[in-house]
Amino acid sequence: MTWMTAREALARLGSKPQTLYANVSRGRVRAKPDPADPRRSLYSAADVERLAERRGGRRSAGTVAAEAIRWGDPVLSSALSTIVAGRLFYRGRDAVALSATATLEEVAALLWQAEDLAWGPAEPPGAGDGPLAAAFAWLAGRAARDLPSLGRSPAVLQREAAGLLGGLGAALLGPAPPGPAPLGPAPLGPVAAPGRGGEPLHRRAALAWGRPGAEDAIRRALVLLADHELNASTFAVRVTVSTGASLSAGLLAGLAALSGPLHGGASEGVRALAEAAGRSGPQAAVRACLAEGRPLPAFGHRLYPEGDCRAAALLARFELPEVFAGLRRAAEAATGEPPNIDFALAALAAAHGLPPQAPLLLFALARAVGWLAHGLEQRASGELIRPRAHYVGPAVAPAA
């Protein structure tokens, strides 16, 4: 990302400093401290340029729409989550603060605006190719037979969402241990009481992987990953549910999008970089990656110019393995960018000896809460998402 000084940004915008600062506070222009002088700030050149073109009246409606799809302006309304001044909020509640005590189920109740949900998990059939394959197979089966979301009450859809989250948990983590257990007191207050049911998902994950000592770190990771505005997988969910398709079809679309290496699979790139650092040293691994023209995985985030608050909150809860600590130092020195949540997930898995797929599985399980929340919100809006394409193919002559 290219950055401008305040003087350069103001010259391009032709505005006063107060206007620039107001655009930063409203999230229109990203800013970060200047490494050469922490008293000053640097501003995203792309954001400044987009704002300057808007002020000059040179952007067509098509240009605005195209830029909105590529990390640009918001394209639809949502009351679920937002990022303001480097902090993530769920319905106005600070996600980092919630991660100190909340469970994923309690965050689900907050985002879905539902109370007294039954969290008893469905037990999907197993798949021989691993938990991710089991999740895809189970969701595909549900999507083929579930009722459309159109024309059904919010309360019915909320109960269905709880069953889907339980079933996905069973697919990703294996069957739940027998016997109900209370979820404990609700730290979120009356807005989101915990439901009824068995062991919370963070505990089930720790037990399934034989790492009870990782329970609290897993709980925090799940809460921090529950939702993140209109990311690629969430947009896929909203488009799917906007057609009236079932919530399970929306989850299937979200999981498919999440599986890509530029989204939920990014932690795998961190693991590969850590393995290279173990062989040749952190500095050599970072240098080799950058020398090949590849972006360094899991460092920097366009929505968090000053550092990913989710990563900082999670990394503070466990001691980094030496190879990850060295990698962090080398990467920050080379790029000037702090680690993001993908690095934190990979480091968490290494620190607690979790399975190699654990980062992706935790990501999918946590984000399913947000996907379902967006599916419920989209269904309530009653709108079909149907953007137009900007045609760049062979010229077409109009009919005579």
Which residues on neighbouring strands pair with residue 88, listed in sequence order?
83
Residues designated as active site:
301, 342
Residues 6+ apart with CB under 8 A from 327: 273, 274, 277, 282, 285, 286
Which of 164, 159, 79, 110 minimizes the C-alpha distance to 381? 79
Distance, CA of 171 to chain centre: 20
Buried b (16+ CB within 10 A) or exposed e, 295-306: ebbbbbbebbbe
Contact criterion met (CB below 8 Å) for 43 and 24:
yes
Helix axes 247-258, 131-145, angle to 10 degrees: 150
* 128: DSSP letter: T
For residue 148, count CB atoms less than 10 angstroms from its CB and return exposed for 0-12, middle for 13-18, buried for 19 or more.
Answer: middle
> In this structure, what token pair is assigned to residue 110?
């907050």
Q: Measuring CA to CA, how many Å separate 323 from each of 53, 67, 75, 109, 222? A: 45, 39, 41, 38, 24
Q: CA 58, CA 16: separation in Å to the nearest integer?
A: 21
The letter for the amino acid at 186 is: A
Sheet holding 81-84, edge to edge: 81-84, 87-90, 93-94
- Contact (CB, 8 A) for 168 and 368: yes
- Say if residues 310 and 225 touch (Cβ distance below 8 Å): yes
Token representation of residue 325: 């600590």
State residue 89 phi and psi, 5-degree precision.
Answer: -125, 140
